[in-house]
Structure 1
Amino acid sequence: MLGSIYIGMSGLTAYAKGLQTISNNVANLNTPGFKATTPRFADLFYGQQFAPGQPGSTSTQSFGSGVEYGYASIDFGQGDIRQSDGQLDLAIQGTGFLALLDGDKVQFGRTGQFILSNDGYIVDQVTGLRLTALDSAGQPEAISVTGKTISPPAATTYVRFSDNLSSGATEFSIPDVVVYDGNGTEHALSISFKPDNAIFPGRWAVTITDENGKVIQTSPLQFLGGIPEPGMDTIDVTMSPAGAEPFTFTLDFSSGVTGFSAGSVSTLKVSGSDGSLAGTLSSLFIDADGVLNIGYSNGESLPLSPIALAHFNDPQQLTQQGNGLFDASHASAPQYATSRGPGVGALISGAVEASNVDLSTEFGRLILIQRGFQASSQVISTANEMIMQLFQMRGTQG
């Protein structure tokens, strides 16, 4: 009967730990990236040798000695993906883990809300761990924007045009065509077109004038059958602005420009150009391919490395830590990939993964844990009553 009391006590201990597991799940109902755990129990047995038959024969009979709390199985099911306000908030649709650096040690998580730290690294604002990208060897390294916060100025190399320059027009001009020199200084040019077809039908004289009204150059533009003639469909313009190196850019009429008759109305316009002034870091964002990009105030952007994701053959080998992190010290080495790579899902920016705790499931387990605890308690009470009866019988005999 004393053994029965110990067996009942093992039940109380095991179910108390199970209750702790369920309580932790319920408490983390709204914790981003939290993965629910399921309590697992194991039976306890011990063996006793005895010889019931002939001399030298042995047999083993097993006696139950109760129950123990075995382990907590982690449920890696997908939690809801919820939109957030942070451009650097990340979640994973599907399997895989974010690789985060804690010094030289790699920790893993399913979601995170990241910010740019003062030392130039992308860090989780809760844990301070550094977000990683894949290096040339396919291993995770901390992402840093140090030395990349300024976008240098770039001189214009082309100005592209589109639409129609009517052959029936007597003149046409496009004002405020913006180009940039090597220092990033903006220059607003005026480009005018006048027919010059006295000798060559379909020819135009193109005059480029700077913001001070000074003519930079005049060059011919030739149309043939309403289409710019190859070899005469571009104009190279060289500017020598004060305080900057001379630079050359091309006026490109070769694609999307026509010279058909439309009366006096022309619709010719600038369709694109390059060059920019100096820019400062204005935003950080992750594109659809899982690549971190820097956005600058001058409209330019710089793609960095793709975010590192990790795949484990057996995620149950991971140890659950606080703040939605998992430790892989006792797990087999992970395989690293980028978004939508082998074994990993798609990286989603501007979102976080919610907890995967299901309240109805937890309450169902709670009832089972409660019933098990009550039954173990009843076993102890019954064994105690039987021992008391033995004591009473002894007292009566005495």
Structure 2
Amino acid sequence: MLESIYIGMSGLTAHAKGLQTISNNVANINTPGFKTTTPRFSDLYYGQQFSNNALGYASTMQLGSGVEYGYSFMSFSQGDIRASDGQLDLAIQGEGFIPLLDGDQVKYVRTGQFIVGDDGYIQDKATGLRLATLSGSGALQPISLEGKRMSPPSPTTSIKFSDNLSSGATEFSIPNVDVYDSSGEKHTLKIVFTPDSGIFPGRWAVSMVDANGREIGRNTLQFLGGIPEPGMDLLEFTLEANNAEASTITLDFSAGVTSFSAGTYSSLRVSTSDGYAAGSLSSVFIDEDGSLTQNYSNGQKETSGKVALALFSDPQRLIQESNGLFNATKSPPPSFTTSKENGAGMLVSGYSEASNVDLSTEFGRLIMIQRGFQASSQVISTANEMIMQLFQMRGQG
């Protein structure tokens, strides 16, 4: 009967640990990226006792030694994908884990809130671990925006035109043409077209005038049959700046420009123009393919590699840690890829993955754990009563 007490105590211990597992699941119902754990119980080894080899019966009797809390099963089912406030918050729709660099070690998460740290690295807000991309050789490397907080200026080198410059116009001008010098300073110019067809029909004098009315330069545009003459359809002007090197601007009339008579009305306009001022980093986000994209205040964009994803052949070998981290020291090495590649899921920026805890399932397990604990307690009470009865019988004898 003492063995029965020990067996009952093993049941109390095992079900107490099961209750701890369920309690942890329920407590983390609102923890982003948390994966629920299913309690598992294992019977303890059996002792053997030989018996008479009676016909139709085994030659041994097996006596169990109780129960223990066995290897628990972690569910990696997808949690709800919910919108969040952080532009660098990440979740995975589908398979895979996001690797985070902790020095020489690598930890893994399903979702995370990421920020740009003071040192320029993209890091998890809770743990400080660094987000990683894949290098050309397939190795993990941290993402740094150091030196990328500003977009350097680019001078205007080409202004392209389109539509019609009426051959019947006496003069035509395009005001408010913004150009940038090599230092990124903006200059607002006016481009003036004056007929100059006294000797060559279809010829125009083209001048560039600054905001003070000063002529920067003059050149000649020639039309033949209503279209620009090759060799005279690219006009170069030199822009002088006080605090920057001189730059050359080319007025391009080679495509989409005509000169047919439309009275005094001309529709000639600037179609595209390059060049921009210096810009500061205004936003950072991650595309569906995992590309980290920086937007700058000058309208420019730049990418800094693709966020890496890890695929495990057996996720059950992962060890769940705090802050949504998973430790892979007991797991076979993962294969690394990027979003939507090689069976990996799709990265979703501006979202987080909720816990996959199902309350109704947990409460059902809670009832079963409670019944198991009560039954084991009743076994101990019954065995104790039987022992007391034996003591009483001995006293009576």
- Worse overlay, 242-251 or 93-102: 242-251
1:81-110 CA distance string (max 9 Å, x none) = 111121111111111111111122111001
Aligned pairs for 1:234-313 within 5 A: 234-313=234-313
- State the alpha-carbon separation in 2 of the partners of residues 306 and 21 from structure 1: 37
Which residue in the other structure is 1:387 paired with? 387
AA at the equivalent of 2:158:
Y
- State the alpha-carbon separation in 1 of the partners of residues 233 and 93 from structure 2: 50
Aligned pairs for 1:145-160 within 5 A: 145-160=145-160
1:354-396 CA distance string (max 9 Å, x none) = 1111111111111111121122222222222222222233333
Which residue in the other structure is 2:72 paired with? 72
What is the CA distance between 1:236 and its match in structure 2? Answer: 2.5
- State the alpha-carbon separation in 2 of the partners of residues 61 and 256 from structure 1: 98
SS in structure 1 of the partner of residue 394 of structure 2: helix
What is the CA distance between 1:331 and its match in structure 2? Answer: 0.7
- State the alpha-carbon separation in 1 of the partners of residues 89 and 163 from structure 2: 43
Q: Percent identity among equivalent residues? A: 66
Q: 1:229 to 1:289 in 2, by over 3 A?
A: farther
1:152-191 CA distance string (max 9 Å, x none) = 2211121223344344433321112111111112111111
AA at the equivalent of 2:213:
G
- State the alpha-carbon separation in 1 of the partners of residues 39 and 288 from structure 2: 38
- Worse overlay, 253-262 or 187-196: 253-262
1:216 aligns with 2:196: no
- State the alpha-carbon separation in 1 of the partners of residues 272 and 221 from structure 2: 19
AA at the equivalent of 2:362:
E
1:7 aligns with 2:7: yes
Q: Which runs of 5+ in 1 are unaligned?
A: none
AA at the equivalent of 1:105:
Q
TM-score by length of 2: 0.91
SS in structure 1 of the partner of residue 322 of structure 2: coil
Aligned pairs for 1:353-392 within 5 A: 353-392=353-392
Q: 1:13 to 1:163 in 2, by over 3 A?
A: farther
- State the alpha-carbon separation in 1 of the partners of residues 232 and 158 from structure 2: 16
Which residue in the other structure is 1:108 paired with? 108
- State the alpha-carbon separation in 1 of the partners of residues 177 and 36 from structure 2: 60
Which residue in the other structure is 2:333 paired with? 333
Q: 1:226 to 1:64 in 2, by over 3 A?
A: farther
Aligned pairs for 1:131-142 within 5 A: 131-142=131-142
What is the CA distance between 1:245 and its match in structure 2? Answer: 1.6
- Worse overlay, 89-98 or 243-252: 243-252
- State the alpha-carbon separation in 2 of the partners of residues 373 and 322 from structure 1: 28
AA at the equivalent of 2:138:
G
SS in structure 2 of the partner of residue 245 of structure 1: strand
> How large is the RMSD of aligned CA atoms in angstroms?
2.4
Which residue in the other structure is 2:176 paired with? 176
Matched residues, number: 394
- State the alpha-carbon separation in 1 of the partners of residues 329 and 236 from structure 2: 63
Which residue in the other structure is 2:322 paired with? 322
Which residue in the other structure is 2:46 paired with? 46
Q: 1:33 to 1:259 in 2, by over 3 A?
A: farther
Which residue in the other structure is 2:16 paired with? 16
Which residue in the other structure is 1:348 paired with? 348
Which residue in the other structure is 2:62 paired with? 62
1:48-95 CA distance string (max 9 Å, x none) = 364856xxxx97653211111112211111111111121111111111
AA at the equivalent of 2:220:
P
Q: Which runs of 5+ in 2 are unaligned?
A: none
Q: 1:379 to 1:173 in 2, by over 3 A?
A: same
1:231-264 CA distance string (max 9 Å, x none) = 4433222223233222112222334444455443
